[in-house]
């Protein structure tokens, strides 16, 4: 069975229209999750908790999509698709 890890993290942004963190030392790591559904649930809880602060944003990173840079990529992957 393939494991599909997801990282949920967030923090205060410099500008709510961009994805640049105000201070990377203050990034809140919510946790690592074994599937998208549980990651989405954690993301939603944090997003709702901080809904009144327009500068706070939370994200889901698809860790399972990372790959070993030493391994050759497929032509599709190299094209960014």
Quick one: which of 1, 10, 3, 19 has its CA closest to 62?
Answer: 3
Return mean pLDDT, the chain. Answer: 86
- The structural domains of the chain, with segments of one domain joined by +, span 6-78
Q: What is the pLDDT of residues 46-71, one digit of tens each?
A: 999 999 999 999 999 998 787 666 66
Cβ-based neighbours of 42, under 8 Å, separated by 6 or more: 8, 30, 31, 33
Q: What is the mean pLDDT of residues 15-41?
A: 95
pLDDT above 70: percentage of residues in the chain = 79
Class of domain 6-78: alpha beta
pLDDT at res. 65: 80
């Amino acid at each position: 069975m393939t494991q599909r890890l997801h990282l949920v993290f967030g923090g205060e942004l410099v500008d709510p229209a961009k994805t640049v963190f105000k201070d990377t030392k203050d990034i809140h790591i919510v946790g690592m999750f074994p599937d998208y559904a549980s990651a989405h649930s954690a993301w939603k809880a944090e997003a709702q908790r901080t809904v009144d602060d327009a500068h706070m944003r939370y994200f889901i990173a698809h860790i399972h999509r990372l790959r070993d840079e030493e391994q050759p990529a497929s032509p599709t992957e190299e094209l960014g698709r």
